[in-house]
Amino acid sequence: MSDTPWQGDAVSLVEAFRRGERSPVEELQATFDAIERSDLNSFCFLDRDTALANAKVADVTLPFGGVPIGVKELDHVAGWPDTDASLVFKDRIAESTDTMLVRARAAGTVLVGQTTSSEFGGVNLTRTMLHGATHNPWQHGRTPGGSSGGSAAAVAGGLVTLATGGDGGGSIRIPAGFTGLVGLKATYGRIPRGPGAPFGNLTTTTGCLSRSVRDTARWFDVCNGHDHNDPLSLPRVDGWEAGLGSVPTRGLRAAVVSDWGSAVVSPSMWTVLEEAAEHLIAIAGLRRVDGVDTSLPRLGAAWSISGMAALAYELREHWPACAELLTPEMRYGLERTDGMYGTEARGKFEMRRVELNRRMAEIFDDVDIIITASNPDVAFNADGPLPDTFGGVVAGAGNNGVLTFPANIYGNPGISIPAGTVDGLPVALQVLSRHFSEPLLLELALAYERSRPWPLVAPR
């Protein structure tokens, strides 16, 4: 037996278990050993005893029977730390387990421990006062993104085949794009949140970071469906994995947009991505439509201010005394937005959201698919700060995340598909479609995966 964790995808690991080629206990031990050797700083908590006990009795006939997975630091498992990746809450313990993880456990997963996240999930950089910087396995010293950066680093770094993620402003798609993974941000409510999760600005969805399209499809097979703890969660949909390869794509209208959300994208990266977009259009039989007005109102400030208002409430008993315990981005955000959220601001934000909803509906009247970038450039420094220049073009730090915000606010699905490298670092297409059309996005990702297979883990 190898002392290296499985370097394929999760589905193939389950198949190896069923053939008797590996055992869940041996796989788990290899995982723990690899985490100990790793310099990625992708895990911040390990539950060795519980994981071992579960691996010993793993039922490999289940969808993920015996598969070790990482759990994003912002997700909740009863008895585990509940820190929000912040020193302020370093001693807090979770009292309940999220519905997604209850379902994942029932499907046979072995929860290894927590993967690092950005503080409160606030930025596309995984570096905190509590745990330090997490590194991109493609190049040490570069970020894996955020907020699901530890999950992305662990999966792309060969430590686990799958890890959970959450996407409130791009936090699945951004790290997937930076690390060469599949990252599906589903329709809002597809996988229930909570119990006890606040709705906030109604942007956050949960899912996974995976090495393959079929792994993501199986994850949604297991985890989707309404739960009464989350009244906005959607009814169950079956057949995600079984339907792969059967969803019609020929003739669908696709817009290829370099400046989605008014973003500035690195010119050299866009050259690679536009060729990848043309390839996807060709293999899927899509019809490219040019000249479509894809302009959108800017909502990054509204997203940030409303998010900071929620954070200010969470920190109400600690702020401003806790200021020096926070990462610079969170501290600045709280100081910058203090007093900005009130009746008038709330009304303006909602009207801006109404306008974005209207524009998104108009765009999806003209096209079926939007193809853009997942990130404005390749991964930046692991310690930050957030970049303000992208491929030599100055656009300001606010340009980070602009490509991903719209789908969070509108609530429609988007997927990040590995599409090559620039300067040795992964780049990715972001493909967006209408609400409830995740099977179509998985189909397009599958077509690309089959025609241009990507590395399942970062090169050593």
Position 298 scores a pLDDT of: 82
- 40 domain residue, yes or no: yes
pLDDT one-digit tens code per residue, 88-135:
999 999 999 999 999 999 999 999 999 999 999 999 999 999 999 999
Give which of 52, 55, 31 is closest to 43, Cα–Cα.
31
What confidence tens digit (pLDDT) does each residue in 39-94 have? 999 999 999 999 999 999 999 999 999 999 999 999 999 999 999 999 999 999 99
In a domain, 151, yes or no: yes
pLDDT in tens, 327-386: 999 999 999 999 888 888 888 889 999 999 999 999 999 999 999 999 999 999 999 999
In a domain, 458, yes or no: no
Given pLDDT bands bounded at 50, 70 and 90, which one contains residue 224? very high
304: in domain: no
In the chain, what percentage of residues exceed pLDDT 70?
A: 100
pLDDT at 346: 87
Query: What is the maximal distance between C-alpha atoms in the chain?
Result: 63
Residue 303's pLDDT band (cuts 50, 70, 90): confident
Whether 45 contacts 113, CB under 8 Å: yes
| Predicted confidence (pLDDT) at residue 440 exceeds the cutoff of 70 | yes
- CA 272 – CA 234 distance, rounded (Å): 36
**pLDDT score for 371:** 99
Residues with Cβ within 8 Å of 178's Cβ and at least 6 positions away in sequence, in order, are 136, 142, 143, 144, 145, 152, 375, 378, 379, 425, 426, 428
Is residue 324 assigned to a domain?
Answer: no
129 in a domain, yes or no? yes
How, if at all, do strands 414-422 and 389-390 pair?
unpaired
Assigned token pair, 170: 């791009």
Mean pLDDT of the chain: 97
Domain count of the fold of the chain: 1
Residues tagged active-site: 72, 147, 171
Instruction: Evaluate whether residue 353 is within a structural domain.
Output: yes
pLDDT at 1 over 70: no
- Per residue in 262-276, pLDDT tens? 999 999 999 999 999
The per-residue pLDDT for range 378-407, each reduced to its tens digit, is: 999 999 999 999 999 999 999 999 999 999
What pLDDT is stored for residue 376 in this prediction?
98
163: helix, strand or coil: strand
Q: Is residue 321 part of a domain?
A: no
Range of the domain at 427: 10-299+341-451
CATH number at residue 42: 3.90.1300.10
